[in-house]
Amino acid sequence: MRASPLVLTLAGSILLFTACSENVVSPPGESTATSATAVMVATSPLVEFGRELYFDKGLSRNGNQSCATCHDPKFGFTGPKVAVNKGGAVYAGSFRQRFGNRKPPSAAYATTAPILYFDAAEGLWIGGNFWDGRATGEGLGNPAADQALGPFLNPVEQALPDRSCVIYHVLEGKYADLFYAVWGMDAAHVSFPDDMTQECRKSGSDFDVDFSPADELLLDAAFDQVGLSIAAFEASPEVNAFSSRYDAWKAGADVFTEQEEWGFELFTGEKALCSACHPADLADPMDLFTDYSFDNLGGPKNPANPVYQVDPGFVDLGLGGFLGDPAEYGKQKVPTLRNVGKKPGPGVVKAFSHNGYFKSLEQIVHFYNTRDVKPTCPGPYTADEAMAAGCWPAAEVAANVNSDELGDLGLTAEEEAAIVAFMRTLSDE
């Protein structure tokens, strides 16, 4: 059995901000924390300020990328570009020739994650954000706020050269008053040079602005405040409506079809084992369908991902790469399933899994069911090719593959379809 989910109330927690791409940073020290530090959403100005930041393309080097570019509400706060989703599923940054190596997970409901820690009793790492858990939460007291700051300075995302450029844009922009209303009139009174706009168009290595020690402290504080503000918006009902048919069904305000109810029974039962990693709790009005752990599903490489075209030998080690621990190689964060099927129309393609290999819920459920039953494809087949050929490519990372809870479930085609039908009830209206 997996660790029980650490459920925190949204009123006192910060939701996840997910990046369009992934980079590797130094691993944290071993943590014994058991819950995230809560950040109260105290005022509507705080949420509104965070919303302005979330949708502001000006907070990127070339003025062309916001958080919402990769985390669109119409797609359940994940990647909205159909052409991208059909292929490698990773999104270009402010410089369109720069890509990351993982698809954007949903910014909605991937929430309330505790500070990354090792559960010795379960033998599992729990918490943190990003697919590899590197937004540990140790910086600002919660993973979501830590994660919110990463894309601004990431050269394959918003690509700003320095944190001061974020604050300069905020204070010179249309919502400076909101910043001061939320964080006080004494915040971030920094002396910026006259050529700051030009400096912020440079690369990080060419950025050349010296701030006084006092201003550096103000910039540090203001940058943290930006992260906390974005996270506060992501904790709002606008991002987390809990308005799905599943929520209505739980409240007795909707009725499932026979297929959907059967899918729920399979999802939570001993045959499909979905709830081993994505627990559902009818007694909890805000169950989030994640246990905050990490898992290697044995998924293949996505051959259309640009990272493999640049470096054919690249292997995504996930949490193990971040921690530098072979025992965790290949493990990626278990995401929430809320809004997993949300999209603006039936013909629209979403991508699934950390590298976007799967192109439909039907494909990924079939993989869970038959991974260890079908033969290994003789090459780097796409998911469509693998489905047509009746095979699955080899796992990208052969170590630590979960063979206890998926791979040979014995589900019929009708049972697979029922599970998919239930999962579609998790989309907010």
Identify whether residues 103 and 73 lie together within a single domain: yes
Identify whether residues 265 and 220 lie together within a single domain: no
48 in any annotated domain? yes
Tokens (6 digits) for 4: 């029980």
> So what's the pLDDT on residue 182?
95
Confidence of residue 110 (pLDDT cuts 50, 70, 90): low
Identify whether residues 195 and 75 lie together within a single domain: yes
pLDDT, tens digit, 9 for 90 and up, residues 367-409: 999 999 999 999 999 999 999 999 999 999 999 999 999 999 9
Tokens (6 digits) for 387: 């489905």
429 in any annotated domain? no
Identify whether residues 115 and 252 lie together within a single domain: no
**Average pLDDT, rounded, for the chain:** 89
Which domain-ending residue is among 197, 215, 234?
234
Identify whether residues 226 and 111 lie together within a single domain: yes
Identify whether residues 327 and 203 lie together within a single domain: no
* Average pLDDT value for residue range 8-23: 38
300 in any annotated domain? yes
* Average pLDDT value for residue range 8-24: 38
320 in any annotated domain? yes
Of residues 21 and 355, the one with the higher pLDDT is 355
Confidence of residue 152 (pLDDT cuts 50, 70, 90): very high
Q: Is a pLDDT exceeding 60 seen at residue 36?
A: no
> So what's the pLDDT on residue 111?
66
> So what's the pLDDT on residue 105?
84
Identify whether residues 288 and 396 lie together within a single domain: yes
Tokens (6 digits) for 345: 């129309």
302 in any annotated domain? yes
Identify whether residues 228 and 363 lie together within a single domain: no
Is residue 323 within 8 A of residue 365, CB to CB? The reply is: no
| 305, burial (CB in 10 Å: exposed 0-12, middle 13-18, buried 19+) | buried
136 in any annotated domain? yes
Task: Kindly give, in sequence order, each residue whose CB lies less than 8 Å from that of residue 269, ignoring residues fewer than 6 positions away.
Answer: none
Which domain-ending residue is among 182, 211, 234?
234
Identify whether residues 265 and 290 lie together within a single domain: yes
4 in any annotated domain? no
Task: Kindly give, in sequence order, each residue whose CB lies less than 8 Å from that of residue 105, ignoring residues fewer than 6 positions away.
Answer: 16, 18, 78, 131, 333, 335, 354
Q: Is a pLDDT exceeding 60 seen at residue 365?
A: yes
Domain of residue 352 covers: 245-424
> What is the residue whose two structure tokens read 């990272």?
307
> So what's the pLDDT on residue 31?
36
Identify whether residues 306 and 164 lie together within a single domain: no
Identify whether residues 327 and 385 lie together within a single domain: yes
Identify whether residues 191 and 88 lie together within a single domain: yes
pLDDT, tens digit, 9 for 90 and up, residues 64-88: 999 999 999 999 999 999 999 999 9
Q: Is a pLDDT exceeding 50 seen at residue 13?
A: no
* Average pLDDT value for residue range 179-183: 95
Confidence of residue 12 (pLDDT cuts 50, 70, 90): very low
* Average pLDDT value for residue range 325-347: 95
Could you give the CA distance from residue 128 to residue 395 in angstroms, rounded to a whole number?
24
pTM (two decimals)? 0.89
2 in any annotated domain? no
* Average pLDDT value for residue range 116-145: 94
> So what's the pLDDT on residue 327?
98
Q: Is a pLDDT exceeding 60 seen at residue 26?
A: no
Number of domains in the chain: 2
What CATH number should be reported for the domain holding residue 175? 1.10.760.10
Q: Is a pLDDT exceeding 50 seen at residue 5?
A: no
pLDDT, tens digit, 9 for 90 and up, residues 280-334: 999 888 899 999 999 999 999 999 999 988 898 999 999 999 999 999 999 999 9
Which domain-ending residue is among 183, 199, 234?
234
* Average pLDDT value for residue range 19-30: 40
Q: Is a pLDDT exceeding 60 seen at residue 236?
A: yes
> So what's the pLDDT on residue 144?
87
Label each residue of the chain as H, E or C.
CCCCCCCCCHHHCCECCCCCCCCCCCCCCCCCCCCCCCCCCCCHHHHHHHHHHHCCCCCCCCCCCCHHHHCEHHHCCECCCHHHHHCCCCCECCCCCCECCCCCCCCCCCECCCCCEEECCCCEEECCECCCCCECCCCCCCHHHHHHHHHHHCCCCCCCCCHHHHHHHHHHCCCHHHHHHHHCCCCCCCCCCCCHHHHCCCCCCCCCCCCCHHHHHHHHHHHHHHHHHHHHHHCCCCCCCCCEHHHHHHCCCCCCCHHHHHHHHHHCCCCCCHHHCCCCCCCCCCCCCCCCCEEECCCCCCCCCHHHHHCCCCCCCHHHHHHCCHHHCCEEECCCCCCCCCCCCCCCCCCECCCCCECCHHHHHHHHHHCCCCCECCCCCCHHHHHHHCCECCCCCCCCECCCCCCCCCCCHHHHHHHHHHHHCCCEC
